[in-house]
Chains A and B, each alone.
Chain A
Amino acid sequence: MSADRVRTSPGDVRGNATGALELEPRRSPFVFATAQYESGDWDSAPSLAGNIIDTVARYTSLAVEPQGAMVSLSSDDALRYPLLFLTGHLPVRFTSQEGRVIQRYVERGGLLFIDDHNHDIDGAFHKTATEEIARLVGPLQPLPNNHVLYSSFFTFVDGPPTTSHELNGWGDNLVHEQLLAVTRNQRISVLYSNKDYSSEWNFHPDNKRFMGVDPTRFAVNIIVYALTH
């Protein structure tokens, strides 16, 4: 601990040019938010949020809220969270109100990250979710594997990291080479994954210490990308 910089909570106390200590104002912490929707099973990965929050706190100095949030897509409160995570196994049909909120969310600069918990390109979630996104926002396009998303914090030279669930005999049993995305003004507005990160990141928190490579590192890239682009 150096004499001129002491880290405390909730703010930082740091020295200035004159040597005086000043209280740095508290920054608004990042809140990991999961989207609720009427159809399907939005809460199919209940441990995921806690694991992501732990990862952000572990690898970065970003202020992060220790509790995630769950926010209904039929409410304007969704606009308070410029990064939203959405997952599920079941068919997705957004209500008209949910559709309006999603459109407004994307138009205003939010990033909606959707993960197919089935990892199945012929599955009900994939078919309906991609149809809904195409209807509301625009068609999903393959995201190049050299996109800045893959180097915004950790570097993933081959694009999206493969999950252990892609070849587990369920779903389409394919390794999906690319993520899909809708971009607006050269920014990702909707990020869509068939990789089943919902399963990969939904482990019991105690198990993380037994993993050779933290599988949730890619989540840091998504969050850092959303916060800086």
Chain B
Amino acid sequence: MRSRIEWAARVVALVALGAAWWMWQFPPSVGRSASNVAVLETVSAEAESDSVLTAIVNTLFTSGQSALRLSVSSVPGQQTRALLHAAQDAGWRVEWRSGVNANFMAANAIAVSATARTDPDGGTVIQVAAPTGTALTLSDSLGWIDSVLVSDRGTYWNLSGDARAFRVASPFAVATVGASAQSPVKRIRLFAATGWESRFLLNALEAAGWTVDADFSIAPRVSVTAGSPTTIDTARYAAVVALDSSAWRQAAAIGRFVRSGGGLVLFPGSARGAALAPLRAGGVGSALAGIPGALRSALPTEGLAFTPVTGLASDAVVMARSAREGAPVAVAARRVGAGRVIQIGFEQTWEWRMLGGDNAVLDHRDWWRSMLQRVAWSSVAAVEERWMPLPGNAAPLADLVARLGPPADAYGPDSETLANAAPPVWLLVVALTALLGEWWSRRLRGAV
């Protein structure tokens, strides 16, 4: 009889140890801990299915627990985050922790912004901050658009078309973002003397969709007017392009225009004088001739006459440098009041269009388009600067942290975490008791 009891104690101990090991390795998806905390397994960002939301609702509302702990391998989707946030606001204790890797925060942090291009053809610029090496896919309502491997902590897409809502997905998070409608202002005011540069600039901007207002002086009291030049203000113009000293007489009006949000493009001929000096990004250096043959090379702007931007203003930002010795500044920009100024060192850009490579006409137009996009005034800016209480789905991880707080394991292990992670204590107690009983019985009967 005693021998059978001892055999039974051994079996009980082995079964208890096996069950403890099993529950340690394969904890239940939703269970009840000793502290009335429900544990919910991985929530997938990609598959924000009804089942996940149903599991959360069931856990919170039907199982009677007062707290919920999420163990996630990727950032939960927008609806899940919103539901958890609402539950937390309603009094439930909601915590989350990374269930897969210790580098969860760094691996999952992506944030996306979308800005309507200030361009007559519309389009959107999408910028993404993401860990280097992250594979990203971009899609809109019609499907996939592109995929890239992030090379330097971020990437961007410059998209044409009317799409306004986009989705950027990494293996661990999905961000969605929408761009506001673009500004209807499509006019440019050009100040330039009559010449090939002004004529080809006019052609390039009009080909890019801009309406250009200019008056070209031909003779005393005779000028040729393009468009319908009028008072310079942000209600009429997105930007002013000042090629040469023709703009100096309007310097005061241009200054007011820029400070109230307008864009300004300065060239050496216009930046050189004192009239527009308060607005410029830097000084005007000595003129250099274009490098022979460069117009048909991969760096066509090096073939243009070039006057470096020197002595940058303290708040100026270098946008481009020349490939010449010493890497002189070719393009610099700064903010002036609410507006932006870009100062360009290249001159006679029409030679690029006429003498450049096979795509010179399009390249010249697109280069000018990009210059205008950098400064052109847009009413969108005011909309984008509105206060946002939460990051939203443009930055899913930041949104999760803002809603639920940092992950529980970010503060180190706590007793509940350890309790949930360890095998059930009562099973170990049962196993230990059984083994002690079996050992005590054998000692009483003198067995070895």
Contacts and interface: CB of A to CB of B under 8 A. Distances in A.
Interface of A: 12, 14, 16-18, 20, 22, 24-25, 27-28, 30, 59-63, 76, 79-80, 82, 107-110, 152-153, 185, 187, 224, 226-229
B353 interface: yes
Contacts of A185: 203, 207
Interface string B204-220: 00010000000011111
B272 A25 contact: yes
B159 interface: no
Contact of A25 (B198, B252, B269, B275): B269
Nearest to B287: A25
A224 B199 contact: no
A64 B350 CA distance: 18
26 contacts: A12-B245, A16-B275, A17-B251, A17-B252, A17-B275, A22-B248, A22-B275, A24-B244, A25-B268, A27-B193, A27-B195, A27-B244, A60-B219, A61-B219, A80-B355, A108-B353, A109-B353, A109-B354, A110-B354, A152-B224, A185-B207, A224-B194, A227-B216, A228-B218, A228-B224, A228-B226
A164 B71 CA distance: 95
A82 B217 contact: no
Contacts of A228: 194, 198-199, 202, 216, 218, 224, 226
B361 interface: yes
A174 B57 CA distance: 94
B351 interface: yes
A61 B220 contact: yes
B195 A28 contact: yes
Given A14-B248, A109-B203, A152-B224, 15 more contacts: A16-B251, A17-B252, A17-B275, A22-B272, A22-B273, A24-B244, A25-B245, A28-B348, A60-B218, A80-B354, A109-B353, A153-B219, A185-B207, A227-B216, A228-B216
A17 B351 CA distance: 33
B129 interface: no
Contacts of A224: 194, 218, 224
A193 B13 CA distance: 111
A153 B245 contact: no
A24 B247 CA distance: 12
A211 B224 CA distance: 28
A18 B361 contact: no
Given A17-B252, A152-B224, A62 B194 contact: yes
Most A-side CB within 10 Å, residue of B195, B216, B251, B351: B195
Most B-side CB within 10 Å, residue of A24, A30, A226: A24
Nearest to A60: B219
B200 interface: yes
B360 interface: yes
B199 A24 contact: no
Contacts of A60: 218-219, 222
Contacts of A14: 245, 248
B196 interface: yes
Contacts of A107: 361
Contacts of A187: 203
A22 B251 CA distance: 14
B197 interface: yes
B274 interface: yes
Nearest to A11: B245
B217 A61 contact: yes
A62 to B, nearest CB: 6
A24 B245 CA distance: 7
A14 B251 CA distance: 14
Contacts of A63: 195
B274 A16 contact: yes
A80 B350 CA distance: 9
Given A16-B274, A20-B274, A228-B224, A76 B355 contact: yes
A107 B193 CA distance: 24
Contact of B274 (A18, A79, A80, A227): A18
A80 B226 contact: no
A22 B219 contact: no
Contacts of A226: 199
8 nearest A-B residue pairs (beta carbon) = A79-B354, A228-B224, A60-B219, A22-B273, A24-B245, A16-B275, A25-B269, A61-B219
B9 to A, nearest CB: 96
A99 B360 CA distance: 19
A201 to B, nearest CB: 20
A109 B364 CA distance: 12
Interface string B259-279: 000000000110011110000
A193 B68 CA distance: 87
B267 to A, nearest CB: 10
Contacts of B198: 227-228
Contact of A227 (B195, B248, B251): B195
Contacts of A108: 353-354, 360-361
B273 A16 contact: yes
A60 to B, nearest CB: 4
B190 to A, nearest CB: 11
Nearest to A62: B194
B274 A28 contact: no
Contacts of A109: 200, 203, 353-354, 361
A221 to B, nearest CB: 10
A9 to B, nearest CB: 15
Contacts of B360: 108
Contact of A82 (B194, B199, B224): B199
Nearest to A18: B274
Interface string B21-55: 00000000000000000000000000000000000
B354 A82 contact: yes
Nearest to A30: B195
Contacts of B274: 16, 18, 20, 22
Contacts of A59: 219
